Amino acid sequence: TMSHLLEQIPEEDRPHEITVKRRLQEKYGNEILIFNVRGTGAVVCFKDIGHQLLSEAWYSNKHKDPIEEKKRVVREAGAIVREAIRSTFYSTDQYPASTEFLEGVEKDVPDCLSIFLEEVILPGKRKTSFPYWKKQVTAIGHAIIKATRPRCFLSK
């Protein structure tokens, strides 16, 4: 933990926790993770260990009831999709010309949302009707994006 790291430094030379976080990020960049754990404070670890800690946290919260566990997984999936939508930039300054109107509409849908919708909608559909159903996936994706970010997204 961050407090354990700070205890290793003599008190008269001890920097503030924010300074230590910044310097660790500068030195190790993407190889280090710093995150807050409820009841423990800031935890500092290298990525390989960080993934293990996050994985352990995920499985320690696992419900014994299978229905509750499914709900937990769906809630987490929803949070992941919502974050992907919110972190995507959508230009509202210009509306595409009529000749370019439907070009690349699939690109507006984040990958995780597209994958989720394809897993829900496409299984069991005939290959000959896939283009139709792919359009449905895109249309539903646009509707979800518009509902999530009503002022930031213009569906085509």
pLDDT one-digit tens code per residue, 138-147? 999 989 998 8
Max CA distance (Å), the chain:
73
If asked whether residues 22 and 89 sit together in one domain, one would say no
Do 24 and 39 share a domain, yes or no?
yes
- Whether residue 112 is contained in a domain is answered as yes
Q: What is the pLDDT of residue 155?
A: 62
Which of 134, 144, 135, 73 has its CA nearest to residue 110? Answer: 144
Query: pLDDT-based confidence at 125, cuts 50/70/90?
Result: confident
pLDDT of residue 120: 92
What confidence score (pLDDT) does residue 88 get? Answer: 78
Instruction: Indicate if 22 and 95 belong to the same structural domain.
Output: no
**Predicted pLDDT at 50:** 56
Residue 101 has pLDDT above 60, yes or no: no
Higher pLDDT, 155 or 80: 80
Q: Do residue 50 and residue 99 come from a single domain?
A: no
Is 155 within a domain?
no
The predicted pLDDT at position 114 comes to: 92
The mean per-residue pLDDT over the stretch 54-74 comes to 79
Closest CA to 84 of 121, 64, 63, 114: 114
**In the listed set 34, 60, 86, which residue is the last one of a domain according to the structure?**
60
Look at the chain and report how many structural domains it folds into: 2
For residue range 25-42, what is the model confidence (pLDDT) as tens digits? 888 777 777 777 666 777
Instruction: Please check whether residues 87 and 117 belong to one and the same domain.
Output: yes
**Mean pLDDT across the chain, nearest whole number?**
79
45 and 80 co-located in one domain:
no
Same domain, 49 and 100: no
- Judgement on whether residues 106 and 42 belong to the same structural domain of the protein: no
One domain, residues 6 and 39: yes
Distance CA 64, CA 152 (A): 40
Task: Please report which confidence band the pLDDT of residue 9 belongs to, taking 50, 70 and 90 as the band edges.
Answer: confident
For residues 109-144, b (16+ Cβ closer than 10 Å) or e, as one string? Answer: bbeebbebbeeeeeeeeeeeeeeeebeebbebbbeb
Does 52 share its domain with 75? Answer: no
Q: Is the pLDDT of residue 149 over 60?
A: yes
Could you list the residue range(s) of the whole structural domain that residue 9 is in?
2-60
Q: What CA–CA distance (Å, rounded) separates 53 from 23?
A: 22
